[in-house]
Structure 1
Amino acid sequence: MKKSTLLTVVFLGLIQSVWAGGILTNANQSAQYIRMLSRNASTDIDAVYFNPAGLVKLNDGWHFSFNNQSIFQTRTIENMYPLLNESTYDGDVTVPVFPSAFAVYKKDRVAFSFGFGVNGGGGTAEYKTGLPSFEIPFAQLPAALGQLGIVTNGYSTDLYFDGRSVFLGTQLNASYRFNEIFSGAIGLRVISAKNTYDGHIKQISLIVEREGQPLLITATDLFNQLAADASAAAGQLGQYPADATMPDETAATYGFQSGTTFGEAAQTMSVKAATANAYASQMGDKYESLDQKGTGFTPIIGLNIKPSDKLNMGFRYEFKTVLKMTNHTEKDDLNVYRDGAEFRNDIPAIFTAGVDYQLLDNFKLSGSFSNYFDKAADWSGKENDIEKNYYELAGGLELQLNEVTTISAGLMHSETGVGRGYQTDISYSLSSNSVGLGAKFKVSDAFDMDLGVLNTVYENGYKEIEYAGVGTYKELYDKSNLAFSIGLTYHLL
């Protein structure tokens, strides 16, 4: 068992987005989005994010919006490796507070806007019993001990990992109406990214037979004892002529076959002692505690086209956010996160297009397309496992029941482009289908409230992993996701 195999898989660096928007990007930036899913041609206040060129369609004056989502996600990994104590691992991602805020000042042909949101990450992923990649190296210990002549009945260990990731975005836009049909926008978003990891590997133990009874012994103590016994045996055997054949009784005492020479036996015991010492050095408690921080900038351009009173089209392009993260390491017993080390974790460029069509005075249809240029991002080599860019197709409808209440619904299909080489139990991407439902309530001329609920069903993914000396086994990936949202909008006209 190599140290790199045992340790570097334990604390990996990429915590994915908590819901919609590609591998790393959160597009769920408003309550209106949760209840409708298609917002790329929005001319409401959430156009600050989805369609900044459409903000010139707002009424003159100030507009403010505050949104929150509560997101609950379960990630399930099932590994078929036969030596594991358990094959299924669940990780809970809970995000009770996922805020966003928008402010717009509109006057004649011009609109200036501000946006704030969690543009990536946003969740805490807690794995109370670790993950397959955490545990498999320890599941291999009984077989390794068998090579040292020690029979074990199993293993036990305390594995824990907690990863928190938040990419906060602050955005400023300027929008201008060229004429009744065309308007444009430019913007800039500043991303402040932070990942925080805490975890441990403790109390690695093995079950061995002692006097016919199972006994739980810490792996460090066991390997240290094995090393000491093997080293002592090597010393004793080394006192005899190396080419002399061991008596059968002596050979049996040390566990060797008849005809083994003292030199061969001494060499074998020396190798066992060195192997046991190597294992013992890895079996102590390990702790990780660190932050990773970085800042990036996202230029944004937008175009809105309104050829008629019924039809509106919005387009947005976000340039790639070059994001260089730096380790700020407090504890690194695994020697995988050197303090001050840097790596790239770019947010990919995004192109979006949307269309809204007012079919009736009280009934609107909407369609949206979003493409995430993952293949062009720099993820410190992980982008090499991207086969095609991630995209989303969404459709929504909105029906105004009366002057107060408007209901809406939406469907979205998200298609990931990762190859199977990309997938790991910590970082995996799955295609999905989502449905959103909700309503808007016009409480007064100045005040609106949006409520929404969204459920996402993911397509299962898998990867075949070859384990040296054991075989090739599948690892299966799944998720479940549920989100609730509320948005409050105030118009100061």
Structure 2
Amino acid sequence: MNNRFFALIVGAAMSTSAFAGGLMTNTNQNASFLRQMSQDAIIDVTGMYANPAGTAFLEEGFHLSLNVQSAKQNRNITTTFPLFQYNVKNPSAAHKFHGEALAPVIPSFQLSYNWEKWSVGANFSIGGGGGKCEFDQGLGSFEALYAGQIYSNSPLIAGMVGANVQAAAGINPEYVFRGYSMNSYMKGRQYYFGLQLGATRKITDNLSAYLGLRGVYASCNYNGWVTDVNVYLHSTSEYAAMLGDYAEFTYKMKDQEIELNCDQTGFGITPIIGIDWKVNDHFNFAAKYEAPTKMNLKNKTEMNDYAKGIASKTLPDGTENPNYNSTLGQFADGEEVREDVPAMLFVGGQYAPIEKLRLNAGWHYYFDKQAKKYGDKQDLIDKNTMEFSAGVEFDACKFLTVSASWQCTRYRLSDEYMNDLSFNNSSNAIGLGVRMHVAPKCDIDLGYMQSMYHRKDVTMPTQAGPKSDHYFRTNRVFGVGVNLNL
């Protein structure tokens, strides 16, 4: 058997960015964003992430926003592969794999203190990561690669088993391949916690500038296995009736099972600059740039002996391991894995034709190709990601503001970048909600966001025939926030 092959299976699927949805960016920082996603030029404490320079124009005193969001995402992959028809539990060429990513509680807060020309502030949020995701039936990449290797090695297995049976029973069974079965499972958790601190100063009565830093702490876990791998054989010889229990034979591949549980942690610093130009009571323009964040994730890993043998670069005697595979090696205990957060540029504008109405627009550019990834995966990105947004707010009455918004996200990824867990689909999202003015110094935000993802089909050639993957996902987020002005 080819040991490197089985290393590739787990490594290809358990990429370090898998459960983040691929690209490490997350802009839904609070309930205010969910109800009005075009935040790049707002002047509000909830804009501490999108437009921190705008906080300079808040009234003097403390401003605090406390938020909780709940997100649920379904990831659906239909994999079509010729050898799937040999799966004795599901003998069809197309298999469906379903994963559910759940982040039931996503907390955040934004804080600003304003005094004369200065504003100092903080923002705590989850700036990246996809919460928790579980594929209880494993992944198509697992099954396709195992099926291919089992099928190509079935004559060798049949010959080996036949020789053993002939030695025991004195009859040559002439076994042939009938099918396979396996048990696979994947679960992951990935959170990038961010604490942003900074200060804004009014340069003039209409112009302000911001300088800040964000500390990013990554906490990730990947748990998966491939067990109970069975090869089913049956005899075609004239003596099949005489073989009894040996006529059908199940070969258990215990020595090719993989079990892995990997915790990854890391820390990085993000420098941030911003500017806001409040032209007058009708127009406001703003921009923000975040530098790339270098992240080295340290592994703490438990593996079974077979997986350890594949993940180690050297043998116990210190010589080079001929079966080493760097893809699985990235999960070896004690290893450090590069997983940078990309630089970002946000530009936005707000227009208020009347006092009660605010129209917003924004543009985001993510420097994904320049963010270093393990195995130089960033080289598989065709072009950097862009986002466009538009939103409207209307003060319906003294006690209620209603809002609606739209955001378009465009990923430009190669087919080679896409795989079961780290796929990203371009999308259009809508956000709806209200801000309730429950007291002179207290507002409550209620927001809902739903993303409509484009479907994506990828077909790749293999020795057993073309393998096709159909990717689709759904996403819904609800949030509530309390804003205090003291």
* TM exceeding 0.5: yes
DSSP-derived class of the 2:204 partner: coil
1:433 is aligned to 2:458: no
1:152 is aligned to 2:154: no
Equivalent of 1:322 in 270, 286, 294 = 294
Please tell me whether the aligned partners of residues 80 and 475 of structure 1 are also in contact (alpha carbons under 8 angstroms). Answer: yes
Structure 1 match to 2:315: none
Structure 2 match to 1:6: 6
1:94 is aligned to 2:102: yes
Cα 1:112/1:204, change in 2 over 3 Å: same
Structure 1 match to 2:343: 349
Equivalent of 1:331 in 303, 306, 316 = 303
Give, as a single letter, the amino acid of the residue that structure 2 aligns with 1:113: G
DSSP-derived class of the 2:143 partner: helix
Structure 2 match to 1:189: 214
Task: Find the structure with the greater CA-based Rg.
Answer: 1
Give, as a single letter, the amino acid of the residue that structure 2 aligns with 1:318: E
Q: How far off is 1:195 after superposition?
A: 1.4
- Per mean C-alpha deviation after superposition, the further-off stretch among 324-333 and 178-187 is 324-333
Give, as a single letter, the amino acid of the residue that structure 2 aligns with 1:474: S
Structure 2 match to 1:232: none
Structure 2 match to 1:286: 258
TM (normalized to structure 1)? 0.83
Q: What does the per-residue CA deviation read over 1:354-388, in whole Å, with 9 as the maximum and x for residues that have no partner?
A: 11111222111000101000111101200111111
Report % sequence identity. 31
Structure 2 match to 1:311: 283
Structure 2 match to 1:385: 380
Structure 2 match to 1:458: 453
Structure 1 match to 2:417: 422
Cα 1:215/1:305, change in 2 over 3 Å: farther
DSSP-derived class of the 2:142 partner: helix
Equivalent of 2:120 in 108, 112, 121 = 112
Please tell me whether the aligned partners of residues 17 and 23 of structure 2 are also in contact (alpha carbons under 8 angstroms). Answer: no
- 2-structure distance, mates of 1:370, 1:16: 23
Cα 1:53/1:17, change in 2 over 3 Å: farther
Give, as a single letter, the amino acid of the residue that structure 2 aligns with 1:328: K
- 2-structure distance, mates of 1:459, 1:122: 19
Structure 1 match to 2:203: 178
Please tell me whether the aligned partners of residues 205 and 216 of structure 1 are also in contact (alpha carbons under 8 angstroms). Answer: no
Cα 1:216/1:408, change in 2 over 3 Å: farther
Q: How far off is 1:123 after superposition?
A: 0.7
Cα 1:218/1:406, change in 2 over 3 Å: farther
DSSP-derived class of the 1:55 partner: helix
1:28 is aligned to 2:61: no
Q: What does the per-residue CA deviation read over 1:283-335, in whole Å, with 9 as the maximum and x for residues that have no partner?
A: xx421011111110000000000111111111000000011112111225422
- 2-structure distance, mates of 1:430, 1:415: 8
Structure 2 match to 1:164: 189
Please tell me whether the aligned partners of residues 351 and 372 of structure 1 are also in contact (alpha carbons under 8 angstroms). Answer: yes
Q: How far off is 1:74 after superposition?
A: 0.7
Structure 1 match to 2:479: 485
Please tell me whether the aligned partners of residues 435 and 443 of structure 2 are also in contact (alpha carbons under 8 angstroms). Answer: yes
- 1-structure distance, mates of 2:364, 2:194: 19
Q: What does the per-residue CA deviation read over 1:61-119, in whole Å, with 9 as the maximum and x for residues that have no partner?
A: 11111111111111111111122245211110011111111111111111110110101
TM (normalized to structure 2)? 0.84
Q: How far off is 1:218 after superposition?
A: 4.8
- Per mean C-alpha deviation after superposition, the further-off stretch among 289-298 and 8-17 is 8-17
DSSP-derived class of the 1:378 partner: coil
Q: How far off is 1:208 after superposition?
A: 3.2
What runs of 5+ residues in structure 1 fail to find an aligned partner? 221-279
Q: What does the per-residue CA deviation read over 1:100-158, in whole Å, with 9 as the maximum and x for residues that have no partner?
A: 11111111111110110101104111010000111113323245314645323322211
What runs of 5+ residues in structure 2 fail to find an aligned partner? 85-89, 160-174, 312-327
DSSP-derived class of the 1:7 partner: helix
Cα 1:16/1:302, change in 2 over 3 Å: farther
- 2-structure distance, mates of 1:460, 1:102: 35
Give, as a single letter, the amino acid of the residue that structure 2 aligns with 1:159: S
Q: How far off is 1:202 after superposition?
A: 1.4
